[in-house]
Amino acid sequence: MPRPGRFVTIEGAEGAGKSTQARLLADALAAAGLTVRTTREPGGSPGAERLRGLLLSGDLEWSLPAEVLLHFAARADHVEKTIRPALAAGQWVVCDRFSDSTMVYQGYGLGANRETIAALTAMLGLAPDLTLVLDVSVETSLARLTARGVPPDRYERLGRPFFERIRAGFRAVFEAAPQRCMLIDAEGDPAAVAARLRAVVAERLGVAL
């Protein structure tokens, strides 16, 4: 049986650069000779992808408790069908968003019960070995979304206070679990940010990158 792989999650607000950094980190791990599985939430298994459609399509309005449970139903399927098997096979898993995103968006952002979200997280029975929390200012988030061509009405209607709650929420997640999480300054050049991530992964998980 191979040595189990490691489970790394990348978290942060929209515009923080998560998907770019997930790709660059996966490339660096692969270059170091590791087998890497990249994935993202919501989604990552056939069932979870169907739930992603239901959650993000906007044609159904979910009550907030149902929205939280749907995220965890998708996550449980993703864990059982994709993440656990990959780890058991010795692969490293790099995942763009995981439970912390539900805590921050539904909990800190929308006001869902945070103790419930913590209890649901514990029920998964699998926690990341390392969570990289990408931190950027609200100005940077909004500027990057605009540069990416995201229509401003999609996030402007949430309002600046929402983005501030999200940023504060991710910082609170880091402060509550500093053994698992590292807060990374994600301002500036993506290559420089990627170097910061590699240094943290190397130090925390004992791999030469």
Respond yes or no on whether the N-terminal peptide bond of residue 42 is cis (omega within 30° of 0). Answer: yes
Distance CA 91, CA 64 (A): 35
3-state SS class at 84: helix
- Give the CB-side neighbour count of residue 157, counting CA atoms within 13 A: 4
Q: How far apart are CB 60 and its own copies at their closest, in Å?
A: 5
**Residues 23, 81, 180, 196: which binds its own copies (CB under 8 A)?**
81
Site size toward its own copies, by CB under 8 A: 30
When the beta carbons of 62 and 185 are compared against its own copies, the nearer one is: 62
Is 126 among the residues that bind its own copies (CB under 8 A)?
A: no
Closest CB to its own copies among 29 and 48?
A: 48
Q: Which is nearer to its own copies, 125 or 159 (CB)?
A: 125
What three-state secondary structure class fits 59? Answer: coil
> Which is closer to its own copies, CB of 8 or CB of 70?
70
Stretch 190-209 residues interacting with its own copies (CB under 8 A)? none
Q: What is the smallest separation between the CB atom of 201 and its own copies, expressed in angstroms?
A: 28
Work out how close the CB of 121 gets to its own copies at its nearest, in angstroms, rounded to a whole number: 12
C-beta of residue 109 within 8 angstroms of C-beta of residue 165: yes
Letters for 38-77 (x = contact with its own copies by CB under 8 A, - = none) are -------xxxx-xx--x-----xxxxxxx-xxx-xxx-xx
- Residue of the chain from 20, 32, 80, 90 that contacts its own copies (CB under 8 A): 80
Q: Give the torsion through C-alpha atoms of 67, 126, 203, 194, to 10 deg.
A: -30
- Nearest partner of 97 among 118, 81, 74, 114, judged by Cα: 74
Measured in degrees and rounded to the nearest 5, phi and psi for residue 98 equal -155, -150
Separation CA 78–CA 136 (nearest Å): 28
Q: How far apart are CA 49 and CA 45, in angstroms?
A: 6
Subset of residues 128 to 157 that bind its own copies, contact rule: CB under 8 A = none
Are 108 and 165 in contact by the 8 Å Cβ rule? The answer is yes
CB of 126 to its own copies, least distance (A): 11
Q: Which residues bind its own copies (CB under 8 A)?
A: 45-48, 50-51, 54, 60-66, 68-70, 72-74, 76-77, 79-81, 116, 119-120, 123-124
